[in-house]
Amino acid sequence: MVKPEKQKGYLVRLKVLKDETDLLRVDIELYKTSTHPVIRDSLFDASIIRASKLVRNSGFTMKTFREYIRQGCPKHFRRELYRIMDDFDREEALLAERIKKLKNRRDRVIVHMDPRFAFHPEREDENRVDLEDIEAICSHLERQVAFFSGKRLDGK
């Protein structure tokens, strides 16, 4: 899928994304089964942080991984591979509102504790994230990791 000189970088990046996506899924499942409110809150916040850093961050994200692959893809694979990666781009665009919600919650309430948002219960709706938002993003990431790990998208 990538030129030989990019193979090592591809595998290292893929492993990091796979590990982070697996950890996100574990956080989600632990959140669902936990009954202790402090643990649930911590797992929920950890899930928000992990999910948002995997899709929208100034550092390494799934999107930058796709760009890395585009740049290192041999010509004879480009047509088919670019079509699939364009599909992932479109799917991510459909998740844009959910991604924005995650990023806002992470930035405003969890990480930076922006006083304009974090300490005003009346503004809670502006920073609300539901478990379904995190799960949708996690599923999106899992499909990409599976594909880039060599599994077919059609499940065969």
pLDDT tens sequence across 127-151: 899 999 999 999 999 999 999 999 8
**What is the tens place of the pLDDT at every residue in 84-103?**
999 999 999 999 999 999 99
What is the pLDDT, as a whole number, of residue 28?
A: 98
What is the pLDDT, as a whole number, of residue 126?
A: 83
What is the pLDDT, as a whole number, of residue 155?
A: 61
Percent of the residues in the chain that have a pLDDT greater than 90, as a whole number: 75
What is the pLDDT, as a whole number, of residue 156?
A: 57
Domain ranges for the chain: 4-96+133-148
CB 25 within 8 A of CB 51: no
Residue 93 vs residue 57, higher pLDDT: 93
User: How far is 155 from 46, CA to CA, in rounded Å?
Assistant: 30
What is the pLDDT, as a whole number, of residue 112?
A: 84
The distance of Cα 116 from the centroid of its chain, to the nearest Å, equals: 27
Percent of the residues in the chain that have a pLDDT greater than 70, as a whole number: 99
How many residues are recorded in the chain? 156
Q: Which of 109, 103, 6, 10 is nearest to 58 (CA)?
A: 103
What is the pLDDT, as a whole number, of residue 73?
A: 92
pLDDT, mean of residues 57-68: 91
Q: Retrieve residue 119's tokens.
A: 């300490």
CA distances from 4 to 9, 15, 69, 81, 112 (A): 10, 17, 12, 17, 42
pLDDT band at 49 (very low <50, low <70, confident <90, very high): very high
Global confidence as pTM = 0.90
Q: What average pLDDT does the structure give for the chain? A: 92
